[in-house]
Amino acid sequence: MPNPHVFICGTSGGGKSVALKTLTARNIATTGCGAFFIDVEGEYTGLTKMLGGKVIKIRQGESAGINPFELEPDTKGNKQFLNILDKVAEIRGLLGTICRNYQSRTLNGTEITEIEIIVNQLYAEKRNYK
């Protein structure tokens, strides 16, 4: 109870998937909160569609629908705010990971600074549109 984590384990065919699907569907219906599945076997496709969700296929040759730049408002007390600083750090981390995996090197100081300036500018421009 002290934190929101849960670990479901059990024998094969013991009811783990049914338990998780039931918990998720109930949670969405009663609290309206969202749920995300990383679903390698496509086991949650039916449930996701039934609950009005979207199935995003990530595989080679298929255009995926995840936008790492998407900025969700954070909530503090009863106020909502956009945490651009955290988002910029997240994007810097993501680009650093891509650079490490595809170029076997880390980002240098100039690149990190440029990423921060450009991403901040992009969000500032978008904010001015609204």
Ligand X SMILES: Nc1ncnc2c1ncn2[C@@H]1O[C@H](COP(=O)(O)OP(=O)(O)OP(=O)(O)O)[C@@H](O)[C@H]1O
Applying CB under 6 A, the residues found at the interface with ligand X are 10, 12-18
Which residue in 17, 45, 83, 120 binds Mg ion (CB under 5 A)? 17
Tell the smallest beta-carbon distance from residue 47 to ligand X (Å). Answer: 12
25 or 112: whose CB is closer to ligand X?
25
* Angle at the Cα of 95 from the Cα atoms of 94 and 98, rounded to 5 degrees: 90
- Phi and psi dihedrals of 114, rounded to 5? -65, -45
Give the Cβ contact number of residue 82 at 10 Å.
Answer: 13
Nearest to 30 by CA among 19, 22, 38, 39: 22
Phi-psi region of 13 (alpha: psi -120 to 50; beta: other; left: phi over 0): left
Question: 6 or 64: whose CB is closer to Mg ion?
Answer: 6
> What is the per-residue binding string for Mg ion in 62-101, x denoting contact by CB under 5 A?
----------------------------------------
Q: Is 45 in the site for Mg ion (CB under 5 A)?
A: no
Tell me which residues touch Mg ion (CB under 5 A).
16-17
